[in-house]
């Protein structure tokens, strides 16, 4: 009975409230954009407001907390290629909790989502069309322009959400960008979002402590002499090793075999 009430009464009310508040936040985003886009070329103020918008949903739930470590690894004024593992759509909310200026690299389909997608367009985040090589090349060009403007770029190198929480094979786009531009890579590990908002389903878990670990930056001198594919495999392996210590429940024998097979294929 409790599950029935949660799924068919509580959750629809929660999503209606999320929809209403998101529309309210977006309306004010539009106002901020109108008053700032002509002089704030990096849209820094608009992005900072988006951070507040995202964190609002953490703050209003006293049973959601973020356990953040490694904030000292973010050097003020430094531009990064930020990478993160991807467990859930809720990762987007969590990563705004870095409170740093960045542009998302997101697939075109996300930009079509009402309200959330509109805010991505407004903030001039970076579109990637995964269906074509040309789309990937265009993403690299746009990301390079943003990095040169002083905007960090945030990429999910797995390319899609994990269905079981374990870190999957990294694609090489983020690492091609790093090799091409010589900007440092800032690795971030997230854990706990899968249980709150799984890939299939709409029921949010009411209580959770999310873990975020900001690792030491990987400097261009650290990957000098390595190609993008080699770099991707090396950092992928590091992620699996570190994440399996943080969340061993995601790494049973079969998933370890899959990760090992993916990284050496």
Q: Within 10 A of 207 (CB to CB), how many other CB atoms are there?
A: 11
Q: Are 231 and 223 in contact (CB under 8 A)?
A: yes
| CATH number of the 2-264 domain | 3.40.1130
Q: Locate tokens 């900001």: which residue?
A: 214
pLDDT score, position 133: 80
DSSP string for 125-150: PEEE-TT-HHHHHHHHHHHHHHHHHT
pLDDT score, position 262: 55
CA-wise closest residue to 172 among 220, 222, 89, 229: 229
User: Which sequence spans correspond to the domains of the chain?
Assistant: 2-264
pLDDT score, position 203: 85
pLDDT score, position 219: 98
pLDDT score, position 198: 84
- Distant-in-sequence, close-in-space partners of 91: CB < 8 Å, separation ≥ 6: 84, 156, 161, 190, 193
**CA 34 to mean position of chain CA atoms:** 26
CA-wise closest residue to 124 among 218, 193, 50: 50
pLDDT tens series, the chain, 265 aa: 488 888 888 899 999 999 999 999 999 999 999 999 999 999 999 999 999 999 999 999 999 999 999 999 999 999 999 999 999 999 999 999 999 999 999 999 999 999 999 999 999 999 998 777 888 899 999 999 999 999 999 999 999 999 999 999 999 999 999 999 999 999 999 999 999 998 878 889 889 999 999 999 999 999 999 999 999 999 999 999 999 999 999 998 444 444 445 554 5
């Amino acid at each position: 009975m409790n599950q029935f009430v949660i799924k068919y009464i509580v959750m629809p009310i929660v999503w209606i409230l999320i929809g209403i508040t998101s529309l309210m936040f977006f309306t004010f985003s539009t106002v901020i954009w109108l008053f700032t886009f002509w002089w704030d070329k990096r849209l820094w103020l608009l992005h900072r407001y988006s951070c507040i918008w995202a964190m609002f949903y953490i703050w209003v739930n006293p049973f959601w907390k973020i356990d953040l470590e490694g904030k000292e690894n973010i050097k003020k004024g430094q531009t990064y290629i930020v990478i993160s593992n991807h467990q859930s759509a809720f990762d987007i909310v969590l990563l705004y909790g870095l409170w740093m200026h960045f542009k998302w690299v997101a697939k075109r389909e996300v930009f079509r989502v009402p309200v959330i997608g509109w805010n991505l367009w407004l903030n001039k985040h970076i579109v990637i069309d995964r269906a074509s090589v040309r789309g990937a090349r265009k993403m690299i060009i746009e990301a390079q322009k943003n990095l040169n403007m002083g905007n960090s770029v945030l990429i999910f190198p797995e390319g899609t959400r994990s269905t079981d929480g374990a870190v999957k094979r990294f694609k090489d786009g983020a690492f091609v960008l790093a090799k091409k531009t010589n900007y440092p890579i800032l690795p971030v590990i997230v854990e706990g979002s899968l249980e709150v908002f799984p890939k299939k389903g709409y029921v949010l878990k009411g209580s959770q402590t999310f873990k975020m670990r900001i690792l030491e930056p990987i400097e261009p001198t650290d990957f000098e002499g390595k190609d993008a594919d080699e770099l991707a495999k090396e950092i992928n392996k590091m992620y699996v090793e570190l994440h399996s210590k943080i969340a061993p429940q995601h790494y049973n024998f079969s998933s370890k075999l899959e990760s090992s097979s993916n990284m050496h294929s």
